[in-house]
Structure 1
């Protein structure tokens, strides 16, 4: 396949020959990822609830990346319709992200297999061995998330076909370790399967850096959430454009007796109210108005429906505006095709400049 025409982020004195050479180098750097995904570019889309539906997923795949449906809490019937809807919009490969804690996980895997989905992403915890086996026996490739080297090795032994290592810079539910550290911990030691990096990535030159460390590709979410094809409310996208990296903070836990799952999103009235709510719930617990179990539920239920309120209804003050720290590099609402071309152009540009420094 001839490389697509991409306008790289280059100065005028960089020749067409240098660009062509750099593009071939990029194709080689992420060849393991493109081969695994079946795509032109090893750019994997993060699965974002309420955002990663048929329109955005198909747009990403049609532009040469790899879109991923976020199943979330969908029933098997709803997922079947979403897959069919996506297939009506693209003939290119795409995947489905399934939450391992879903009570109908086995049924959801079968829905994917019957629909011919080639890649199943298992997220939200260590995937059950039975789900991995079922997916692989049905002909699908399995992708899982690993926040540590020891787990990466365990997942490979369990049979997963690829890994995503996601740093704390990402949006939504996150772990405690940055991608910079995870890459150093995992990439030199995991060569059995392709490894995709995620968290805080918004530029193509950053992708090149991780590819050179051994990554097979990159997963991005925040930039695609604000894409023109995203069904997110205009106010949700505008909040991304206005935000700086420091505005994307993880949720705060006031008392270790009442755990709060770390979720990164834009600070707003909702996040400030959550602190007040926690403090009031703790007061009620300490005064014995609530049992410990009741207090924990009070805290956990605060954000119920909050993501939908932000994404679909546009309530960016009280809803949960999940965003990664790369939100500071979202400068405008762009079509997916332009985002991907920009990323590839920046990657090619970085390689051209490196070649120029070496006198190539």
Structure 2
């Protein structure tokens, strides 16, 4: 597996996660379910269940299903704007889930405390230094800094810039994982040397043999390159839509139309801002399911990061992780 130097650089990350290597598999709705999550954890990495829009009952079944496939640590990624967030936290606590990742905005009051009360570690996304400091003061155990090169919902700043801003300031204070556009081990080595405790990759694992993504979805990844993975455009400034990076297709146009429709509903007083944002979230959940599960890669949403061009074949998770470690080791050895 990893060389002594690589293990040393990942030590804080592996200590926090309880995994062999500090490589998290990013939570991708419909893709990061029990099969991929358990495969990543069984291969020495750290799998994350993407709760997304799941109900507490569905999450309950997904955690139980994952536990049946692995005895190794894994976590659950929860969306902060989920209307049943506290119920989902309770489901994680019931199962003794050791790590909960909160994504999609500032954690609502009481959520961090509720997770910590169950004995779990809390990991949050920090898209800026000021927010990272605020989250640190709130008592989070670790941070993920994700650049705009990532697939799915993205922030406005590139991974390299975020890493340079945040790691020198906070890496000594708490473990920080870097994400967004990472497709090879050389990049992992450089972020670790900058002070990161580990990394998170999503796009690289979509075409894993163990991933349940539809063959059409995988084919789109194998054909795609960095330029094909584009960010969605905000149509109405009143509707603060978080951009989503996906491969360009007819679904991209459908999202533009959806934004116009929701903006009109706001104008007509049919929905308030919170409901408008949930409308958009539900659109994405449905569009993503159409692509990942049904294989409709023309009208569905093929969420992919800019590292999609580095996904060249379908291969087992263990092979992907071994390849990344080998590249990271070679890069460190050459320094």
TM range (shorter): over 0.9
Structure 2, gaps ≥5 residues long: none
Structure 1, gaps ≥5 residues long: 7-22, 355-360
Please tell me the root mean square deviation across aligned C-alpha atoms, in Å. 2.2
Aligned to 2:153: 173
Of 185, 194, 206, which aligns to 2:165?
Answer: 185
In structure 2, the CA distance between the partners of 1:290 and 1:195, relative to structure 1 (3 Å rule), is closer
Q: Is the 8 A contact 1:79 1:111 kept in 2?
A: yes
Cα deviation 1:166-211 (Å, max 9, x = unaligned): 0000000000000111001100011211000000001011000000
Aligned to 1:199: 180
Of 317, 338, 347, which aligns to 2:319?
Answer: 338
Q: Does 1:26 align with 2:2?
A: no
Q: Does 1:327 align with 2:308?
A: yes
Aligned-residue offset at 1:35? 0.8
Q: Which has the larger radius of gyration?
A: 1
Aligned-residue offset at 1:353? 1.6
Q: Does 1:63 align with 2:43?
A: yes
Cα deviation 1:65-107 (Å, max 9, x = unaligned): 0000011121222111111110110000000011111122112
Q: Is the 8 A contact 2:59 2:88 kept in 1?
A: yes
TM-score, normalised by the number of residues in structure 2: 0.92
Q: Is the 8 A contact 1:55 1:231 kept in 2?
A: yes
In structure 2, the CA distance between the partners of 1:290 and 1:213, relative to structure 1 (3 Å rule), is closer
Aligned to 2:115: 135
Inter-partner Cα distance in structure 2 for 1:267 and 1:79: 31
Of 50, 73, 87, which aligns to 1:107?
Answer: 87
In structure 2, the CA distance between the partners of 1:264 and 1:280, relative to structure 1 (3 Å rule), is closer
Any idea what SS the aligned residue of 1:320 has?
coil
Any idea what SS the aligned residue of 1:187 has?
helix
Aligned-residue offset at 1:281? 5.5
Q: Is the 8 A contact 2:236 2:260 kept in 1?
A: no
Inter-partner Cα distance in structure 1 for 2:240 and 2:67: 40
Q: Does 1:272 align with 2:253?
A: yes
Q: Is the 8 A contact 1:251 1:260 kept in 2?
A: no
Of 194, 197, 213, which aligns to 1:213?
Answer: 194
Moved over 2 A (4+): 253-261, 272-275, 277-282, 289-304
Of 263, 285, 291, which aligns to 2:267?
Answer: 291
In structure 2, the CA distance between the partners of 1:112 and 1:325, relative to structure 1 (3 Å rule), is same
Inter-partner Cα distance in structure 2 for 1:194 and 1:292: 47
In structure 2, the CA distance between the partners of 1:81 and 1:304, relative to structure 1 (3 Å rule), is closer
Count residues with an aligned counterpart: 329
Cα deviation 1:32-67 (Å, max 9, x = unaligned): 101111111100110011111000000000000000
